[in-house]
């Protein structure tokens, strides 16, 4: 467990819990990342069938799949980091890969209604409170998303059920 301490006069001590793992840059690695994230959330009181764990599974799955498909560098793994801040009710998901992109994602791309891909970041955008990407030193990038763990999560998931592919 990572604990952030405050100096006297600063805000009170905040406890952050985190998980950091590396996975092979393969579809199996993306699947393992998603499973580890759901198990970790279950250990923190969010069972696998809960709305929170379902949202985490979708976001981790999409970001890990993107790292495998678009950020793969032969012989390199991708990283998953989860940071839970119970005080603020936020979970930060970070997926890091070794590929440096000329343009880091800044918004969910538009997708063709008949296309077979291109909706992953739309899902992340719908589920996350906010998301983005940052360059990683010395190479690569980290794509991150922050999810609220409060009552707004089930509402956001319900909104996804109302969206049909023809709306895209």
CA distance 56 to 40: 10
The pLDDT > 90 percentage for the chain reads 55
52 closest CA partner among 96, 19, 43, 31:
43
pLDDT > 90? residue 151: no
DSSP label at 165?
A: G
CA distance 42 to 36: 10
pLDDT tens digits for range 56-88: 999 999 999 999 988 777 778 999 999 999 999
Q: How many residues does the chain have?
A: 168
167 CB-near residues (< 8 Å, 6+ apart): none
Which tokens is 44 given? 């923190």
Neighbours of 22 (CB within 10 A): 13
Return the pLDDT at 79.
96
Mean pLDDT score, 131-151: 89
- Ranking 8-12, 93-97, 123-127 by mean pLDDT, the lowest is 8-12
Q: Are strands 77-85 and 14-24 parallel, antiparallel or unpaired?
A: antiparallel
pLDDT > 80? residue 32: yes
Residue 61 burial by CB count (10 A; 0-12/13-18/19+): exposed, middle or buried?
buried
Return the pLDDT at 105.
59
pLDDT band at 156, cuts 50/70/90? very low
CA distance 64 to 94: 9
Question: Rounded to two decimals, what is the model's pTM?
Answer: 0.77
134 closest CA partner among 124, 122, 145, 144:
144
Strands (E), the chain: 3-4, 14-24, 77-85, 90-97, 130-135, 141-148
Mean pLDDT score, 12-39: 91
Strands (E), 25-162: 77-85, 90-97, 130-135, 141-148
Return the pLDDT at 148.
94
Which tokens is 30 given? 């993306």
Mean pLDDT score, 122-145: 92
């Amino acid at each position: 467990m990572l604990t952030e301490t405050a100096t006297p006069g600063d805000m009170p001590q905040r406890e952050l819990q985190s998980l950091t793992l590396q996975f092979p840059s393969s579809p199996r690695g993306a699947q393992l990342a998603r499973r580890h994230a759901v198990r970790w959330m279950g250990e923190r009181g969010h069972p696998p069938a809960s709305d929170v764990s379902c949202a985490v599974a979708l976001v981790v799955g999409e970001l890990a799949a993107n790292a495998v498909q678009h950020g793969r560098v032969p012989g390199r793994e991708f990283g998953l980091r989860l940071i839970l801040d119970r005080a603020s009710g936020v979970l930060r998901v970070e997926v890091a890969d070794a590929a440096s992109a000329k343009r880091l994602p800044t918004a969910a791309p538009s997708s063709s209604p008949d296309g077979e891909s291109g909706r992953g970041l739309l899902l992340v955008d719908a589920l996350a409170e906010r998301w983005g990407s940052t360059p990683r030193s010395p190479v690569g990038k980290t794509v991150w998303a922050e999810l609220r763990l409060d009552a707004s999560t089930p509402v956001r998931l319900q909104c996804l059920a109302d969206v049909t592919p023809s709306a895209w």
